[in-house]
Chains A and B, each alone.
Chain A
Amino acid sequence: MNRTEIIEKLREILAAAGDGTVPALSEDSNLASDLGLSSVSMLYMVIAIEEEFGIRFDDVGASDFVLLSDVVDYIEGKLR
């Protein structure tokens, strides 16, 4: 799975957990300021990612990811 496909899946996850609208995502999107994710939303997203991608996150905290690219890097690393 390449980075574009990972971002597309993240877009679906965020759309389902958000208000239904699909957010415009780029690798530089800031999770807190651009996407409005709180610490709890971030963990909720992590749970959804684990289910969607079949991976298990290590001991990551809500503030360990700042940009969407951080999440994509992490998922890519886990899928490798």
Chain B
Amino acid sequence: MKREKKAKAKLFSPKYLIYDFVKATAALPGLLIFRPKWIYESEKAKERIRGGALAVSNHYGFFDPLYLMIAIWYRRHRFVCGKEFFESRARFWFKSFLCIPIDRANFNISSLRAITDAMKSGYLVSMFPEGHVNGERTGDLEDFKPGLVLMALQAKAPVIPVYIKPRKRFYERIRFAVGEPIDVTSFYGERPTFAQIGEIARAVREKEEYLKSLV
């Protein structure tokens, strides 16, 4: 993937204050309660993710954003979430956590720009490409929305696949499998066709299925 220079998000900013405070105070209890176990696809997957990237994960419960934050703990995540959350009582938290609203019923160009601009500015954007909470707690994956490919293509950013193993009991430790970064342009170049975008989304889902077999 052609990337002249990796943009880096600011290390410190007043807008990170609440995010960082919550993260710092929740870190120790989180480690003790969840006792996370990281499994990596390869040595390359262990390397720190630098610059703009798109982290994708399965979505089986409302704590998944928290788990994904633990899985890639060293980065600030900017989650893509439904715009309805920004109209709810909890909107303060969604704004404080620098989430990016998206209209799921009518995916619009301004949401796409906000997401790609965030990645181009060096942020790690995180999303759940199944599009909603997968109520089947079996860990089976639904189809991935091809929008993820469009986001990564436009931002020229790698996709980081993460699989979170569903916990059956609250005292079970949380297990993640982290895959190698996927360069979406490696499949069909920078201008894939409509059908190829769908194929790339299926390939990312297949990678997620592979990660599922590792945990």
> Interface extent on A, as a size class?
20 to 34
Contact of B194 among A44, A47, A57, A62 (CB under 8 A): A44
Contact of B195 among A19, A39, A58, A64 (CB under 8 A): A19
Tell me, in angstroms, the Cα distance from A16 to B188 when the chains sit together: 13
Interface residues of B in 70-118 (CB under 8 A from A): 103, 105-110, 112
Contact of B109 among A18, A20, A57, A63 (CB under 8 A): A57
In the A-B complex, the 7 residue pairs with the smallest Cβ-Cβ separation, listed nearest first, are A61-B106, A61-B108, A59-B110, A41-B194, A63-B106, A40-B146, A39-B107
Q: What is the number of residues of chain B that contact chain A, defined by CB distance less than 8 Å? A: 19
| Interface: B53 (CB within 8 A) | no
Contact of B107 among A18, A47, A57, A62 (CB under 8 A): A62
Interface residues of B in 121-179 (CB under 8 A from A): 145-147, 149-150, 154
Interface residues of B in 16-49 (CB under 8 A from A): none
Shortest distance between the CB of A49 and any CB in chain B (Å): 10
> With A40-B146, A40-B150, A43-B112 as given contacts, are A61 and B193 in contact (CB-CB < 8 Å)?
no
Chain A residues with a Cβ under 8 A of chain B? 16-20, 37-41, 43-44, 46-47, 57-64
Q: A59-B110, A62-B108 are known contacts; what are 20 more A-B pairs with Cβ within 8 Å?
A: A16-B193, A18-B194, A20-B193, A38-B146, A38-B194, A39-B106, A39-B107, A39-B147, A40-B107, A40-B145, A40-B149, A41-B197, A43-B108, A43-B109, A44-B150, A47-B109, A61-B103, A61-B107, A62-B107, A63-B105
Whether the Cβ atoms of A17 and B112 lie closer than 8 Å is no
Q: Report chain A residues within 8 Å CB of B110.
A: 58-59
> With A40-B147, A61-B103 as given contacts, are A47 and B154 in contact (CB-CB < 8 Å)?
yes
Q: Report chain B residues within 8 Å CB of A37.
A: 194
Q: Report chain B residues within 8 Å CB of A38.
A: 146, 194
Tell me, in angstroms, the Cα distance from A20 to B194 when the chains sit together: 11
> With A40-B150, A43-B150 as given contacts, are A19 and B107 in contact (CB-CB < 8 Å)?
no
Whether the Cβ atoms of A18 and B193 lie closer than 8 Å is yes
| Interface: B3 (CB within 8 A) | no
Contact of A64 among B106, B147, B150, B193 (CB under 8 A): B106
Tell me, in angstroms, the Cα distance from A43 to B112 when the chains sit together: 9
Tell me, in angstroms, the Cα distance from A58 to B154 when the chains sit together: 17
Q: Report chain B residues within 8 Å CB of A40.
A: 107, 145-147, 149-150, 194, 197
Q: Report chain B residues within 8 Å CB of A16.
A: 191, 193
Tell me, in angstroms, the Cα distance from A44 to B148 when the chains sit together: 12
